């Protein structure tokens, strides 16, 4: 098996009504890759507490392996308090100093990087020294060994101040694809020391910071669709109507759909169209990991 990998946080999203939902952007990404028909795994870490045991069980219930979820004997399993505003847009309060902050680089992860087809990573999973070092080791191992890289996707996912600023430029430089949303554009520009007057011009400049091969920047606008700037052409795909229940995980679903269809040989425009439809369907359910019928999404996106 040559899996797609999500590396970083796996945790419980805790809602005001008492629900808890398995989450974390890399996990959501891996789940959606799996349900789109691609082998996928999550590289993360949980505690030995009840929440950790329950989270492993939930990961398996959703069809993924917990083989690459490490056990931490000193730190608790990660949790996030989720609140939704009137437009169903989430705000996150993220517990610090938890198990996934200490993902370790070991023989198992070293072996995985040799086999994986693609790795998706973000900023949150690199907020601590442990996460930063392991993610960067994962991205750089083949560079040191003179082998081919897995395809690398940087899904920025800013969460307030929950990131290490020093990770931004290396993470950009080691990515083929960078994906961010409209709220993240001005923040990224400020962190990179760029005065932004035109977001499109900034994002086109950002393409030059990524790796030369197959590079592109993907800019999502929710119900307004997405733009792709990069190595083939600049693309705009309009948004898709949705009866929004909960937007948690929609961006992760979008990224997974883009990656899976691109691996299947689709054009960037086809990838973006399908990803818009797929993310819209995810928004119509509670939680980040609903079951979505791929065939129905393909019919909506392509009429077949």
User: Which domain CATH number covers 59?
Assistant: 3.40.1190.20
Q: How many domains does the chain have?
A: 1
Query: Which position has the token pair 């973006």?
Result: 272
How confident is the model at residue 224, as a pLDDT? 92
For helices 25-35 and 250-263, what crossing angle results, to 10°?
Answer: 50
- Say if residues 248 and 90 touch (Cβ distance below 8 Å): yes
Q: Which residues pair with 93 in a beta bridge?
A: 81
How confident is the model at residue 270, as a pLDDT? 96
12 CB-side CA count, 13 A:
21
Query: Which residues does 50 contact at the CB level (< 8 Å), separation at least 6?
Result: none
Mean model confidence pLDDT for the chain: 89
How confident is the model at residue 231, as a pLDDT? 66
Q: Which two tokens stand for residue 298?
A: 């393909």
∠ CA(294), CA(299), CA(304), 5° rounding?
115
Q: What is the number of helices (H) and of strands (E) in the chain? A: 10, 13
Range of the domain at 223: 4-302
How confident is the model at residue 108, as a pLDDT? 94
Q: Has residue 41 got a pLDDT over 90?
A: yes
Q: Which of 6-15, 143-152, 263-272 is the least confident region?
A: 143-152
Q: What is the pTM of this model?
A: 0.92
| Digit-coded pLDDT (tens) for 198-209 | 888 888 877 776
In sequence order, which ranges of the chain are alpha helices (DSSP H)? 25-35, 50-61, 107-115, 129-145, 168-173, 184-191, 199-207, 250-263, 268-283, 294-302
| Digit-coded pLDDT (tens) for 249-299 | 899 999 999 999 999 999 999 999 999 999 999 999 988 899 999 999 999
Query: Which position has the token pair 């962190």?
Result: 191
Q: Has residue 84 got a pLDDT over 80?
A: no
């Amino acid at each position: 098996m040559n899996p797609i990998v999500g590396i970083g946080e796996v945790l419980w999203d805790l809602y005001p009504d008492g629900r808890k939902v398995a989450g974390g952007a890399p996990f959501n990404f891996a789940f959606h890759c799996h349900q789109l028909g691609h082998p996928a795994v999550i590289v993360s870490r949980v505690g030995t507490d009840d929440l950790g045991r329950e989270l492993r069980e939930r990961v398996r219930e959703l069809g993924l392996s917990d083989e690459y979820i490490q056990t931490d004997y000193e730190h608790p399993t990660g949790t996030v308090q989720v609140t939704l505003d009137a437009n169903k847009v989430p705000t996150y309060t993220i517990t610090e100093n938890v198990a996934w902050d200490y993902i370790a680089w070991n023989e198992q992860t070293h072996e995985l990087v040799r086999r994986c087809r693609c790795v998706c990573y973000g900023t949150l999973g690199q907020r601590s020294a442990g996460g930063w070092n392991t993610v960067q080791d994962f991205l750089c191992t083949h560079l040191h060994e003179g082998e081919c890289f897995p395809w690398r996707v940087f899904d920025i996912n800013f969460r307030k101040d929950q990131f290490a600023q020093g990770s931004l430029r290396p993470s950009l430089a080691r990515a083929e694809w960078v994906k961010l949303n409209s709220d993240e554009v001005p923040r990224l520009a400020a962190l990179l020391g760029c005065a932004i007057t035109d977001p499109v011009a900034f994002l086109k400049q950002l393409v030059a910071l990524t790796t030369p091969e197959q590079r592109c920047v993907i800019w999502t606008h929710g119900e307004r669709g997405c733009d792709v700037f990069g190595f083939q052409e600049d693309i705009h795909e309009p948004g898709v109507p949705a009866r929004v229940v909960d937007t948690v995980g929609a961006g992760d679903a979008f990224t997974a759909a883009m990656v899976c269809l691109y691996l299947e040989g689709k054009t960037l425009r086809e990838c973006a169209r399908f990803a818009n439809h797929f993310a819209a369907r995810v928004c119509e359910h509670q939680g980040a990991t609903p079951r979505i019928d791929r065939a129905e999404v393909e019919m909506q996106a392509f009429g077949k």
